[in-house]
Structure 1
Amino acid sequence: MKAKIYTKTGDKGTTRLVDGSCVEKFNPRVEAYGTVDELNSYLGVVRVGLQKLQELQPLDPFFEKIQNQLFNVGSLLACADEEVFKKLPALEEKHVTFLEQKIDELTSELPELRNFILPAGHETSTHLHVARTLCRRSERRSAEVMVKDARYDICLKYLNRLSDFLFVAARWVNLKTRFEDVLWKKSE
Structure 2
Amino acid sequence: MSDRLTQITTRGGDDGSTGLGDGSRVGKDSVRIHALGEVDELNSSIGVALAEPLPPALRDALVRVQNDLFDLGGELCIPGREALTEAQLARLEACVEAFNGELEPLREFILPGGSRAAAALHVARCVCRRAERAVVALDKAEVIPATSIKYLNRLSDLLFIGSRIANRFAGQPDVLWQPGLNA
Shared fold (TM-score, shorter chain, > 0.5): yes
Give the equivalent residue in structure 2 for 1:155.
148
After the TM superposition, which parts of structure 1 deviate over 2 Å for at least 4 consecutive aligned residues? 148-152
Q: Which of 71, 86, 96 matches 2:89?
A: 96
1:20 and 2:26 are equivalent in the alignment:
no
Alignment partners' CA distance in 2, 1:40 and 1:4: 23
Alignment partners' CA distance in 1, 2:99 and 2:46: 18
Q: Compute the displacement of 1:148 (Å).
A: 3.0
1:73 and 2:91 are equivalent in the alignment:
no
Name the SS for the 2:125 alignment partner: helix
Q: Compute the displacement of 1:149 (Å).
A: 3.2
Q: Deviations over 1:31-59 (max 9, x none)?
A: 00111011111211111113xx6xx2332
Q: Compute the displacement of 1:147 (Å).
A: 1.8
Give the equivalent residue in structure 1 for 2:131.
138
Q: Which moved more, 1:114-123 or 1:146-155?
A: 146-155
Alignment partners' CA distance in 2, 1:147 and 1:165: 26
Name the SS for the 2:44 alignment partner: helix
Does the 8 A contact of 1:121 with 1:182 survive in 2? yes
Q: Which moved more, 1:58-67 or 1:20-29?
A: 58-67
Give the structure-1-normalised TM-score: 0.88
Q: Compute the displacement of 1:150 (Å).
A: 3.3
Q: Deviations over 1:134-163 (max 9, x none)?
A: 100100000011123333321111000000
Alignment partners' CA distance in 1, 2:102 and 2:46: 23
Structure 1 unaligned spans of 5+ = none
Give the equivalent residue in structure 1 for 2:46.
43
Does the 8 A contact of 1:145 with 1:152 survive in 2? no
Does the 8 A contact of 1:77 with 1:152 survive in 2? no
Does the 8 A contact of 2:138 with 2:144 survive in 1? no
Does the 8 A contact of 1:135 with 1:163 survive in 2? yes
Identity %: 40
Give the equivalent residue in structure 1 for 2:167.
174
- Give the counterpart letter for 1:33 in structure 2: L
Structure 2 unaligned spans of 5+ = none
Q: Compute the displacement of 1:66 (Å).
A: 0.7
1:7 and 2:10 are equivalent in the alignment:
yes
Alignment partners' CA distance in 2, 1:28 and 1:151: 12
Q: Which has the higher helix share?
A: 1
Give the structure-2-normalised TM-score: 0.91
- Give the counterpart letter for 1:44 in structure 2: G
Does the 8 A contact of 1:118 with 1:184 survive in 2? yes
Alignment partners' CA distance in 2, 1:92 and 1:78: 17
Alignment partners' CA distance in 2, 1:94 and 1:176: 29
- Give the counterpart letter for 2:61 in structure 1: F
Name the SS for the 2:78 alignment partner: coil
